[in-house]
Each structure stands twice: as structure tokens, then as C-alpha cells.
Amino acid sequence: MPRLKDKVAIVTGGTKGIGFGIAEEFVKEGAKVVICGRSRETGTSALSALEQLDGEVLFVACDVGDIDSLEHSIAETVNHFGRLDIYVANAGINDPEKTHFLDITPEQYDKIMDINLRGMFFGGQKAARQMVKQGERGVLINMSSVNAHLALDSQMVYTTSKGAIQQLTKVQAVALAQYNIKVNAIAPGAIDTELMRRVGSDKQLMNTILSRTPMGRIGTPTECGRLAVFLASPDSDFIFGQSIYNDGGRGFQAFPTPGYKTLSDEEYDLFQLLVDQNQ
């Protein structure tokens, strides 16, 4: 039997990248899935792809940085499917500009924190209120990052937000345990997403990432999706307030992997071709 049969799940940022990978695996496991995103065009395309899996899927336009929009997405989910069992707070952004700490503006800070942390905080709160109202078990899954504990000074606000998410996950878990709501986080490393494709355009940086990833490759949204299924299912019911690293070992690799061979021009061109085909 599918592990999430008839469960109702919201996946914020579920129209592409890791979020879409999670939504896809949820549908395969029998869940009724609501994907949320800001772009209706991207949402419609993702909805069409998920419907090919013969699942029950709904797209709701949502900006997680807006409290009213968060409330609307949960209300639409309950109106359509009657309940909410799983809430995946995946939506997040980064600043493409490598701004030094001394030069970061309040506007840059607020833009990232509003989506990555404030949106996750209040989205989880509102989802949990619905779960408590239902009086049954529920699940919150937050999207952190390996950069929660790696000091990436070129992306200071982003890494700060991801570190805060890990503490948020712990305190949410403690606060909601009495209501039988399980809270955990996923902390990915380098995953084949739109953001990673931008990173991958820099061959030197790509080599650096791979040299510090013992598995020697980037991960996939599907691998994140399978982990999310595990955390959403009863199989993980005694895992509590944890951040599970899905990073190929990158988080604990202090120095380049012994014997690591950098990408040749031909290998890098092949990598770029594969990336382009998956866009």
C-alpha cells in the first residue's frame, strides 16, 4: 500500500526544483497534493506534469512572505480536500549578488528573511492550527540546507536563515509534540535545481563543491522527495526535531576528497548538457 495514501499535503515552492521532486514522490505514494508558488505559469505547467501520475493535485498561487496568502493557501486546501495532514515548508530564495557583510542592506536582508524564515514560521503555525483543529496526527517538514552550518560568507543572509530554520524546527517539535504533530527538517547539499544550475555555470566553483562531496556528484530532487516521504510517513515517527542531511557527505568533508579528479573540459560540457536537458 502507498505510504501516504489519502493524506493531504501542501508543498510550498512545489512547482519546481526540490519542491516539485517532493510533490511528485508524494503523489506516487498516494497523497493528495497542493503545490504552491508565485508564478501561475510555472504552477500550471507543474500541475499538468503531476496530473500525468493520476494523482489528485491542486495548484494554489501563494507568496509565503505574505501572511494573508499563507492563510489563503491553507483555506483553499481544506476547502478542496477537507483537511491538511502534511505541510512542507520548502519555498525559499537566495540573493544572486555576492554581497559582503559590510555592504548588505536592510532591504536585501528583509527580502530573504521574509520568505525563508518568517514565511516558514507563520506557514507552519497556520498549518499546525489546522492540524490541531482536526485533532489527529500531523507532519511539518522544513527545508534547511547544508549551509546551515557551513560558513558561506558570500551568501550571509541565506545561510543565516537556514541556520535559524534548524532551531525553529527543534522548538516547533517541542511545542507541537503534545498535539501529535511531528516536525523535522531536510538539509540538502548540492541538488540539481535552478539555483544549482547557476552555480554550475562556474566550473571552478563546481569543482570545489564536488571535491568536498565524498559521493562526487550532486543530488536530485527525487532523492529529496524520497526523504520527505520517509519523514511524512509513520516510518519516522520517533525522529523528532531533527535536520536530516541529504548532502552526499558534503557537510562533514573538511578537505578535498583524496584522489579527487577535477572535471575535464569534456566532462564539464557533458555535465552542462545534462543540466540543460533537465531544465
Whether residue 194 contacts residue 252, with contact meaning beta carbons closer than 8 Å, is answered with: no
pLDDT digits (tens, 9 = 90+) for 118-128: 999 999 999 99
Residues of the chain with pLDDT under 70: 195-203, 251, 253-279
Query: Based on the number of CB atoms within 10 Å of its own CB, is 189 exposed (0-12), middle (13-18) or buried (19 or more)?
Result: buried
**φ, ψ for residue 183, nearest 5 deg:** -125, 125
Whether residue 15 contacts residue 59, with contact meaning beta carbons closer than 8 Å, is answered with: yes
Q: Name the CATH superfamily housing domain 8-199+219-256.
A: NAD(P)-binding Rossmann-like Domain (3.40.50.720)
**What pTM does this model have?**
0.89
Residues 6+ apart with CB under 8 A from 133: none
pLDDT of residue 202: 66
Hey, which residues are catalytic here?
Answer: 158
Mapped onto helix, strand or coil, the DSSP state of residue 240 is: coil
pLDDT of residue 262: 60
**Distance between CA atoms of residues 125 and 27, nearest Å:** 24
Enter the C-alpha cell of residue 48.
Answer: 499538468
**Distance between CA atoms of residues 117 and 162, nearest Å:** 8
Longest dimension (CA), the chain: 57
pLDDT of residue 36: 98
How many other CB atoms are there within 10 angstroms of residue 205's CB atom?
A: 11
pLDDT of residue 154: 79
Residue 276 one-letter amino acid: D
What residue ranges do the domains of the chain occupy? 8-199+219-256
